[in-house]
Structure 1
């Protein structure tokens, strides 16, 4: 699939590279990648600062920009298929309206999931997780987030079954804001690293809570402006790792790296 990057998005890539002090030249086929001495770079919903989130175009661009992982969101369609979309509603990111799980997967495919970002991405569609695994599995790491799992009983089991069908894949991680969902994923897939996303209303975490989370979560991922030295040290002390989300500025990028995080989840993986 050819990479489609609009002139507007290309300008943003160039500006960010300049902001980060790069003297590299940007072309449609050659992008600057992060040096090896920095944390994992996780493309939030793909390269969502440059392309429509959670689309194949965004994932392809994240790979071209040198991200280590693509982060993506999954929900269930009306007919029980794992589909890749962030919101419970269609309205923000597609030309559809209403609730995702009111539609079958074939109905969801008919909606345009690119034009909201830029007319140049018209025709991008909602994908299934199977399609993403088929295209990107083994090419780039995948961080899969379960969205509103309480709305979809059995979501984690469906996800586990899908990943078992792609048993040979490596560099898969799972995460959720719902701690119980993360724990269920760990129980179903004990060999797959699991993360918990810490919402601000649960922060800071007590020592007892960190102990509990560390019993099943490999990563404890926190909002970048809430992280401090103590939080990172407390997670590392328990043998865990920490990612900072969602990094959108040079200031936050530098701060996260200085704190010694293990991964940076960003809209701009350039």
Structure 2
């Protein structure tokens, strides 16, 4: 697939919607993100007991819904091993869609975003189809296409339950006429094998996610000794380019921090990825000081500017309006526009 470098601005990917302003993974969060100027909205996908794809950060839902307060579901609390970790709570795969629709979303980090608790109890858990319906409606209303950026959560785990995420995802995308390399879709995963399998079944763009440490869980299951650090090497990136079109990386993989949170020198990851013909999308940009490096306390705009200066191709943001404003300001201040970024030749 031919790619070229352009001076287009980086994509704004609304991380779980405008989750700085509304409880994450709700239609309200996605709708606000679109109003604030995002290019893509990002739903994390898990499965219901009856095989419907819904948007939740995790399949354990006590942090993001009122399920723990619902007496009729108290007996559903259980402990499971998810990707090698023991978790206790309520899990989407133990509920039908009808049951899950009776729950209401709540703010996941109320101690950090207390204003978002004003919306607790107002919104349902949305299905992927409902999200697509919203995107289509809003794209028509605002006169520009909004993309979707779904993540398959815990694919090996769901596959072991007979609730594969990939087949229903492709079926829904196809039914909604998302086809080909230039469709406004990115499919992402922290695992590798499901992306490799998807690459044989679809031309839609795929994104290999990297965490700051550890390894893909399918590597654990398959006895593969490689880690995310190994995937980030020049040779690792070349292998990724055989099945994916982009990488989604933790910010600290590009600009590490020291033990007090101060930024260190940047790595060569953007340059290396672009050399391998991979786009680079970086996560997650947030406005709160808790998430900012020591260098940019109370000034999230400067963090965006720093990362934009490296020629990245997109940012995952909880505050898409902040990202949008920085992009506008950054473009005005740079006579030559944005640094070269990699995109498909005929564009997204």
TM over 0.5: yes
Residue 133 (structure 2) pairs with residue 134 (structure 1): yes
2:229 to 178, 203, 221: 203
Identify the residue that residue 171 of structure 1 maps to in structure 2: 184
Shift of 1:250: 2.7
1:129: Cα distance to partner? 0.5
SS at match of 1:226: helix
- Give 1:231-246 correspondences, 5 Å limit: 231-246=269-284
What is the correspondence of 1:70-81 to structure 2 with a 5 Å cutoff?
70-81=41-52
- Deviation per residue, 1:147-186 (Å, 9 max, x gap): 0001212211111111111115731111011111222222
Q: Which contiguous aligned blocks of 4+ residues in structure 1 show a shift greater than 3 angstroms?
A: 114-117
Distance, in Å, in 2 between the alignment partners of 1:150 and 1:83 is 17
Taking structure 1 as reference, are residues 207 and 168 closer, same or farther at Cα in structure 2, changes over 3 Å only?
Answer: closer
Structure 1 unmatched ranges of 5 or more:
1-35
Give 2:95's aligned residue. Answer: 103
Q: What is the count of residue pairs matched by the alignment?
A: 234
Normalising by the residue count of structure 2, what TM-score does the alignment of the two structures yield? Answer: 0.64
Secondary structure of the corresponding residue to residue 90 of structure 1: coil
Q: Report 1:185-264 matches (<5 A).
A: 185-189=198-202, 191-201=203-213, 202-203=228-229, 205-227=232-254, 228-248=266-286, 249-264=300-315
Distance 2:119 2:25 in 1: 16
Q: Normalising by structure 1, what TM-score?
A: 0.82
Structure of larger gyration radius: 2
Structure-2 residue corresponding to 1:269:
320
8 Å CA contact retained: 1:172, 1:193: yes
Structure 2 residue ranges without an equivalent (≥5): 1-6, 69-89, 109-115, 140-145, 214-227, 255-265, 287-299, 322-348
Secondary structure at the residue paired with 1:216? coil
Offset at 1:137?
A: 3.5
Find the counterpart in structure 2 of residue 10 from structure 1: none
**Relative contact order, higher structure (CA 8 A, sep 6+):** 2
1:76–1:83 Cα contact (<8 Å) kept: yes
1:182 counterpart = 2:195: yes
Q: What residue is the counterpart of 2:152 in the other structure?
A: 146
1:58 is matched with: 29
The 3-state SS of whatever aligns with 1:188 is coil
Distance in 2 (CA, whole Å) between partners of 1:174 and 1:265 is: 14
